[in-house]
Amino acid sequence: MINNLVERYRKLKAKSDALDREMKEIKVKIEPLVEAVEGRKWMDRDGYARIVQRNPSVFYDVKALDALIASVPEAKVMLAPHRRERPGARYLQVK
């Protein structure tokens, strides 16, 4: 039972990966065309293609920050109460 389902999953994954690659190739071709459109947005009745500016993401090296907090008593008092940790989500991995 598991063997059959995993084999089916693998076949679907291979098809999905091929479609993902094809969609990425198409997006590479669409982007300069949309870039040339005024307002950087193309629309039809079913949807649109547009250039979206990504927001920068900010993160801190958790181990380095924890070490800093541990080594500076004033920082530990101020920052340690604000440290939050949650377990990662559980998921099924199939290869």
pLDDT score, position 76:
85
pLDDT score, position 91:
85
CA dihedral 5, 10, 15, 19 (to 10 degrees): 110
pLDDT score, position 93:
83
What is the C-alpha to C-alpha distance for residues 26 and 52, in angstroms, rounded to an integer? 17
Q: Residue 66 has which token pair?
A: 């924890």
How would you class 11 by CB atoms within 10 Å of its CB: exposed for 0-12, middle for 13-18, buried for 19 or more? exposed
pLDDT score, position 10:
96
What is the C-alpha to C-alpha distance for residues 1 and 92, in angstroms, rounded to an integer? 16
pTM of this structure: 0.61
Query: Which residue from 81, 93, 69 is spatially nearest to 13, judged by alpha carbons?
Result: 93
Q: From first to last of its 95 residues, what are the pLDDT tens digits of the chain? A: 999 999 999 999 999 999 999 999 999 999 999 999 988 899 999 999 999 888 999 989 999 989 988 899 888 888 888 888 889 999 888 88
